[in-house]
Amino acid sequence: MTDAEIRSKLGQLTDPELEISFDRLGLIRSVQTTSDAIKIEVQLPTPAYPGRERIGDLIGSTLGSSAGGRKMDVTYSWQVLGRETGGKIGLRIKNVVAVGSGKGGVGKSTTAASLAYGLKHFGAKVGLLDADVYGPSIPLLTGAKGTPIVREVELPNGQKIQRLEPIDADGMKVLSIGFLIRENQAVIWRGPMLHKLLTQFLQETDWGELDYLIIDLPPGTGDVSLTLSQLLGLAGAVVVCTPQKVALLDAVKAISMFDQVKIPVLGIVENMSGEIFGRGGAKAKAAELGLPFLGEIPIDATIRVRGDDGQIASLFEDDNPVKPHLLRMTENIAMQIAKRVIVDAPMPSLEIL
Ligand code: ADP
């Protein structure tokens, strides 16, 4: 078999995780055969691809007999797939992902920060925007401190513009209204002001090139989501809820709100699973609504303590009981994002000769 034949044969395989063909995913980056080896470079759509060796196994079993005793050498690289919808407002961000909930106190901000650090843990370039303007808690959870400065930036065409510089939190760019107001200061937002602030936080901020920007939304209300939806097409929204029935009712409302403002829902995360609130309620609700279930985070004092200490990042740095759950959730969300990029993309139209 020639390299091109091997490539075309592998292109027809189905990805074990996403159930999309290798070709559509652009998974096979290169094929190179020598007298003693077949070298295949697999390019994953996200660094948070779980169990990548399954792809190598599939390639091995597909090419087994045609390898003619040659060594199979499969290597992996990654490049995040994204819609890059922020391009129209000058953003260079592949995927903008919102994290929302039907009500406060369910751990939405903790989940948003954990998702951001989880993606960073896998190697992606990530930013975290706190759009929970009524109760900004990202500065507290990340331990990030400082005042964002405004800097003059020169565009390639020579034009000079003002840009807000996010705060660096453990190598991640973070922005929150919490950095701009006094602690304990309540802020009352009128619609137009809120819209202006969010526009500034997105359009006039130096986010640089990112694979993912995670946005922590305010609970319940649709105003911020509507503004985001109008400003840029989101990759999708993650809905966080706790397992008990009353909380699930609010989650369903949040999902309906996202539908109304045309933000695709990536799925549901169950937070605080355990003895107190029960377990499995969100998974059952996701199944009932036909939405992906994105994982469960146990109720565990480690999370509360690290959050209070501004140490959410450290949940990924040492062995602790919640780390495997947070990694699994991160993988699930990253895979749903990749899937939607492919599935929602218009199919290339047939060329009629
Ligand atoms: P929300 O953004 O939904 O209002 P937060 O993320 O601010 O919620 O979390 C509310 C409180 O619950 C915080 O003190 C946080 O540390 C705690 N918390 C969140 N998730 C968990 C969990 N899985 N286990 C224990 N405490 C949690």
- Residues touching ligand 1 (Cβ under 6 Å) are 101, 104-110, 137, 271-272, 297, 299-300, 303-304, 307
Distance 303 CA to ligand 1 centre (A): 8
Q: Residue range 79-93: average pLDDT?
A: 88
Residue at 226 is within a domain: yes
Number of domains in the chain: 2
Strand ranges across the sheet with 293-298: 167-169, 172-176, 126-130, 209-216, 92-100, 236-241, 265-273, 293-298
Task: Determine the atom of ligand 1 nearest the C-alpha atom of 106.
Answer: 3
Domain boundary (78, 109, 129) is at: 78
- Taking only the tens place, the pLDDT of each residue in 220-277 is 878 899 999 988 889 999 999 999 888 888 999 999 999 999 999 999 999 999 888 8
Q: How confident is the model at residue 87 (pLDDT cuts 50, 70, 90)?
A: confident
Task: Determine the atom of ligand 1 nearest the C-alpha atom of 216.
Answer: 2
Task: Determine the atom of ligand 1 nearest the C-alpha atom of 101.
Answer: 3
Residue 64's CATH number: 3.30.300.130
Q: Residue range 6-14: average pLDDT?
A: 94
Distance 291 CA to ligand 1 centre (A): 23
| Amino acid, res. 199 | T
Residues 104 and 253 in one domain: yes
Q: How confident is the model at residue 86 (pLDDT cuts 50, 70, 90)?
A: confident
| Amino acid, res. 255 | I
Considering the chain, what percentage of its residues have pLDDT values greater than 70? 98
186: left (phi over 0), alpha (psi -120 to 50) or beta: beta
Task: Determine the atom of ligand 1 nearest the C-alpha atom of 111.
Answer: 6
Q: How confident is the model at residue 123 (pLDDT cuts 50, 70, 90)?
A: very high
Task: Determine the atom of ligand 1 nearest the C-alpha atom of 306.
Answer: 16
Q: Which of 141, 304, 306 to mutate to test the pocket of ligand 1 (most atoms within 8 A of CB)?
A: 304
Q: How confident is the model at residue 335 (pLDDT cuts 50, 70, 90)?
A: very high
Length reported for the chain: 353
Residue for token digits 């990749």? 338
Distance 110 CA to ligand 1 centre (A): 6
User: Which residue's CA is the closest to the ligand 1 atom numbered 19?
Assistant: 107
With 70 as the cut, is the pLDDT of residue 348 above it?
Answer: no
User: Which residue's CA is the closest to the ligand 1 atom numbered 5?
Assistant: 107
Residues 169 and 60 in one domain: no
Domain that holds residue 33: 3-78
Task: Determine the atom of ligand 1 nearest the C-alpha atom of 137.
Answer: 7
User: Which residue's CA is the closest to the ligand 1 atom numbered 9?
Assistant: 107
Domain boundary (78, 111, 134) is at: 78
- Taking only the tens place, the pLDDT of each residue in 186-230 is 777 788 888 899 999 999 999 999 999 999 999 987 889 999 998
User: Which residue's CA is the closest to the ligand 1 atom numbered 17?
Assistant: 304
CA–CA separation, 67 and 76 (whole Å): 20
Residue at 152 is within a domain: yes
Q: Please state the pTM of the whole predicted model.
A: 0.94
Distance 307 CA to ligand 1 centre (A): 8
User: Which residue's CA is the closest to the ligand 1 atom numbered 15?
Assistant: 304
Distance 351 CA to ligand 1 centre (A): 53
Residues 53 and 133 in one domain: no
Residues 20 and 106 in one domain: no
Q: Which of 110, 217, 272 to mutate to test the pocket of ligand 1 (most atoms within 8 A of CB)?
A: 110
Residues 92 and 74 in one domain: no
Q: What is the pLDDT of residue 349?
A: 55
With 70 as the cut, is the pLDDT of residue 104 above it?
Answer: yes
Distance 109 CA to ligand 1 centre (A): 7
Residue 245's CATH number: 3.40.50.300
Residues 27 and 171 in one domain: no
User: Which residue's CA is the closest to the ligand 1 atom numbered 27?
Assistant: 304
Q: What is the 3-state secondary structure (H, E, C) of 222-250?
A: CHHHHHHHHHCCCCEEEEEECCCHHHHHH
Residues 194 and 286 in one domain: yes
Contacts of 40 (CB under 8 A, 6+ apart): 6, 10, 28, 30, 31, 32, 59, 72, 73, 74, 75
